[in-house]
Structure 1
Amino acid sequence: MAGRRLGADEEALWALVRATVRALPGRRAESVAAAPPLPEPAAPARSTAATPVSAPVRPAPRGPGETLDRGWDRRLATGHVAPERTIDLHGHTLASAHSALDFGLGAAIARGERVVLLVTGKPPRPESQRPHARGAIRASVLDWLQLSRHAGAIAAVRNAHPRHGGAGALYVILRRKR
């Protein structure tokens, strides 16, 4: 996979990072030249124009089957899994839905539950008028899960079976406590 070349300032930062890394026991360390000093940042110019802000980098979504075995995926797809907890986000604002999701996941993890049914509501139909008046919670849920304090405890997120809400719900599969 070819990527872009690093600029001089990026090369300097990368050299500093490489200088702080130690090889694992039993592995050979690459020789790294001393990192050149970082250039001092220039004083920011005062301007009334807005400066562009880059969006934060989000972790890549987990694809289907990456963290669950085939048996789990089969039981979820056929609806043979009984959720141990349901978190219903209907009627919430974005802020209260995010809070309810965080609280519900924390409680499920504390109790050692494995399958949480997250009811979000169905996504807007493709033929609906844009911008959508509905579906903001559903659109935000996957980002909330990936960036939450509980992200490390989530093994996978799958669409729910029609008996558990179909397109209006998700299964959140939590990792087993070790």
Structure 2
Amino acid sequence: MSDRPLTAGEKALWQKFIESVKPLDQTRVSRVKSLPVAKKLRVVSGPITAQTFGVKPSAAIPLKDQVPVPTKHGLDGHWERRLTKGVVQPEVTIDLHGYTLTTAHGRLDSALELSIAAGHRAILLITGKERSADERRRDGGRGAIRAAIADWLAASRHASHIATVRNAHPRHGGSGALYIILRRRR
């Protein structure tokens, strides 16, 4: 709003508007004031997990029972074409930039848990580009999250819910991101 004074036409219009306004019915006002107010949400520190919502988390899969997450199978032709063309619209984006390995793993696990519970199908996981061993040594370990993602997903308690993991289309981050396609609930 500007601090300029009102013109004569604006003053007349404002006066006409004021005259047309009726005061509120006080019984309606008191009813509105008596409505309960929503409680302030509690602040959650750390990763969001099933325990945060009062649900018992499912156990991790033992190492001997782990099955690698399929990278090229588990999807029909429709999904294949959509992934190749980059027309998939992920329902959730998980950005792991700036996280340590431990916190990134916790963030991925909690996001997968919430996505599975919500019935999402496509997740965009932004990890950053994987670096070669020489580059990791020289640059202080950068790209470690991307290098660990395949192992994390294979060992995850959510591995049975993952249909496939693919490199993202360039419009969604290319080699610095992945699509995680979840299985449909049956």
Q: TM-score, normalised by structure 1?
A: 0.63
Aligned to 1:160: 168
Q: Does 1:119 align with 2:126?
A: yes
1:142-174 C-alpha deviation (Å, 9 max, x unpaired): 111111010010000010000000000000000
| Partner amino acid, structure 2, of 1:167 | S
Which structure shows the higher helix fraction? 2
Corresponding residue to 2:142 among 134, 140, 161: 134
Give ranges in structure 2 of 5+ residues lacking alignment: 1-62
Change (3 A) 1:126 1:93: closer
| CA deviation after TM superposition for structure 1 residue 60, in Å | 3.7
CA distance in 1, matches of 2:153, 2:136: 28
Alignment of 1:46-125 (within 5 A): 59-64=67-72, 66-124=73-131
1:148 alignment counterpart = 156
Report % sequence identity.
55
Specify every segment of 5 or more residues in structure 1 that has no aligned partner in the other structure, as ranges.
1-55
Task: Name the structure, 1 or 2, with higher relative contact order (CA <8 Å, separation 6+).
Answer: 2
CA deviations 1:29-79 (Å, max 9, x no partner) are xxxxxxxxxxxxxxxxxxxxxxxxxxx666345241x21112211101111
Pairwise CA RMSD = 1.9
Tell me how many residue pairs correspond in the alignment: 122
Which residue number in structure 2 is paired with residue 52 of structure 1?
Answer: none
Aligned position for 2:181: 173
Give the aligned residue type for 1:106: E
Residue in 2 aligned with 1:8?
none
If you compute each CA radius of gyration, which structure gives the higher value, 1 or 2? 2
Q: Secondary structure of 1:109's match?
A: helix
1-structure distance, mates of 2:178, 2:86: 12
Distance 1:117 1:106 in 2: 15
Aligned to 2:142, the other structure's residue is in SS state: coil
